[in-house]
Amino acid sequence: MDRQDRGMTLVELLVSVSLLGLVISVVSAAIVVTLRQSDSTEGRTSLARYEQSIDTWIPADLSSTDVTADFVTLYGPAYAGLLPVTTAANASPCGNCGALDLSGANALQLAWFTATDDGTPVMTQVQYQYIQNSTGEWQLQRIECVGGSPCTKAVVLHELAPPPDIATYNPDVDRPTWILSTPELDDPAELALAGNAQRIVVTINGGGTGGSTAGGASSVSLTAGGVLTSDIDADDFTVPSFVRAKSRCGGPVTLIVDDSGSIGGAVSTVVEPGVLSFIEAFRGTPTQVQVIQFASTANAIGPGAGWHRYIDMTNDAEVDQLKTDVVAALDSVGGTNWEEAFFHTLKGSDGSTAATLPNRIVFFTDGIPTLNRTTTLSGWPAGSFINGTLVHYNDGPYGSSWPNENGSAFHQESYDRADVILDDHRGIDLIFVGVGPDLNNNVSWIYNEAVYTNRNANPGSTSTKQAHETIAGLLTNLAYNEVDAVFSGGEYTNPEVANFYLQSSFDTAAFGAAMKASALKDCGGTLTIQTRLPDGTSVADEFVYENSDYRTDTGTSVGAESRVVTTSATFRTGTFDFDIPATTAYYSVDIVPQELQTLDGYAFDNWSCRAGATMKSTTAIDIVDSTFEGFTVDVVANEALSCILTVVPA
């Protein structure tokens, strides 16, 4: 007989209710977690979207901008008031913006110049504007104005957070730092040291809650670094990577070397070894070095051709060739033409401002200026490029009181002509190295304040100065407030601030120490990373490196936070800076490759580190589940380390 379905038993009902309660509690907890995390998840998503969007624009704009440029000096009074970087909220881009809405707040405005084929400077100005559009969406827009062409607009970021206090928000006053901030641009001291905007940090907040551990409230710290846009090939679509640590080391540096007849045999026994140590100190750093030799005339030394020759110090073959060329070129013949030396460094052959100006000039001489460009001009047409702001004294109404230059005695006009050129470029860091007993001799100095306000004024009567005082006057624009280098224990102890190295005689060790100290003024205590194949070429793909920790010579950790740099074929170096106090002999620095899961196409070969010509020992750091290794190396204050990871295609 069929039994009728009499329903659930009590036991079955109790089990069902219990299971249902368990399921509901689990689902409820999942829903609560999801709801709680939604804002942070949205924030993390925003950060990822923002990074992808701004990667299209901001790195190249920052790399194009020389934050220390003086546009009036470079391009004339028509650009008075124009700054390479403007952070005022109410700033408006120049140019033909037509109907574009510029009512938002300026987050960051950048300006730079490029040259047309005929050399005409063309200004580009870019503004990142925080604005609410007609539909109510808050956006970050990029406004670009090039020359006199109509300005263009592109939306860089969508769906941004509104102002924290929208009721009181004033776009003419409130710069949107909650969206985009540039802390180094807002600090005058940092700005003065920046050198190029490739080192500026940009911070964009994705919003969200939960703090940094949840990710939504975290900021993406970005830097555009590695190279200037002028160094990027026209057909290269790679922009500077954001994951760059800023560095004080890098950029163009010029060494001016006196090889006049008064140096004699010391040119080979003292000067050449010192110049070679200067070059070697920069090897492997993101620096471009130019060596200018001068006597009666001046010339650039090194591989290649041209009026200027900056050598890439990450290219070992070019560095080696530069050293070979220095030995071959330096002799000891001729007079001393300071004007020619600075002209060849700071001007083009036509007298215009050089296309590449050095961040620093190190000037070595053993004597006083005896010639100028009115009579000797590196083989260029005489009289074509004479400094037009200073008359030839012998041709003036009081010319009979002026002696003609003879190549052996101090000549005031020759000094003043060099001073005029430097006055156009006083923002460049200038270091003098004066060597030899002749610098203690007295010279007849003709000086009247009127000469430095009206170059055609009668210079007046003579006075007596020591020869080294004339160097100090040129260095500090007659203020004579140079910072003397202090020599102790076989080395200079204050290279960070010294700008005047004075040596009474030619001594190989002392001169070499001066060359090394002046070279490492910024690069001392830095560690530069490169990634190469066994044949020495740079690896095309990006490699990410983390400075996970560093310790004092007593083993105390001082790495407050991890720092990261990235290398690639276009951006070959990443540099870490360390401020090593005088009481600490060295820092033991840990460097570990990151994101190795993306590098299946390569296998680890070896690490090698060097400081100039000296190889440095390293200790391997094992990486779990990887054939790659990190390393530990000691970094000292008076060395610039270059470390290379060699990999082989897998």
Q: Is position 10 within any domain?
A: no
The answer on 518 and 540 residing in a single domain is no
Q: Is position 20 within any domain?
A: no
Q: How many CB atoms lie within 10 A of CB 251?
A: 23
The answer on 536 and 514 residing in a single domain is no
The answer on 433 and 301 residing in a single domain is yes
pLDDT for 46 equals 55
Following DSSP, what letter does each residue of 294-318 receive, concatenated?
Answer: ESSSEEEESSS-SS---EETT-HHH
Q: Is position 637 within any domain?
A: yes
Q: How far apart are CA 82 and CA 75, in angstroms?
A: 11
The answer on 425 and 413 residing in a single domain is yes
pLDDT for 128 equals 92
Following DSSP, what letter does each residue of 419-464 receive, concatenated?
Answer: HHHHHTTTTSEEEEEEESGGGGSEEEEE--GGGGT-TTS----EEE
Q: pTM above 0.75?
A: no
Q: How far apart are CA 559 and CA 542, in angstroms?
A: 24
Q: Which residues of the chain have pLDDT under 70?
A: 1-8, 24-56, 59-60, 63, 115-119, 183-247, 376-404, 446-462, 478-480, 560-561
The answer on 188 and 76 residing in a single domain is yes
The answer on 612 and 546 residing in a single domain is yes
The answer to whether the beta carbons of residues 632 and 561 sit under 8 Å apart is no
Domain of residue 591, CATH code: 2.60.40
Residue 360 dihedral angles phi and psi, to the nearest 5°: -145, 145
- Domain end (from 198, 231, 264): 231
- Domain end (from 502, 522, 542): 522
The answer on 98 and 79 residing in a single domain is yes
The answer on 223 and 91 residing in a single domain is yes
The answer on 197 and 182 residing in a single domain is yes
Report strand pairing: 487-488 vs 462-466.
Answer: unpaired
The answer on 224 and 122 residing in a single domain is yes
Q: Is position 397 within any domain?
A: no
What domain range is 219 assigned to?
41-231
Number of domains in the chain: 3
What the block records as the tokens of 435 is 């060597």
The answer on 281 and 196 residing in a single domain is no
- Domain end (from 202, 231, 260): 231
pLDDT for 159 equals 75
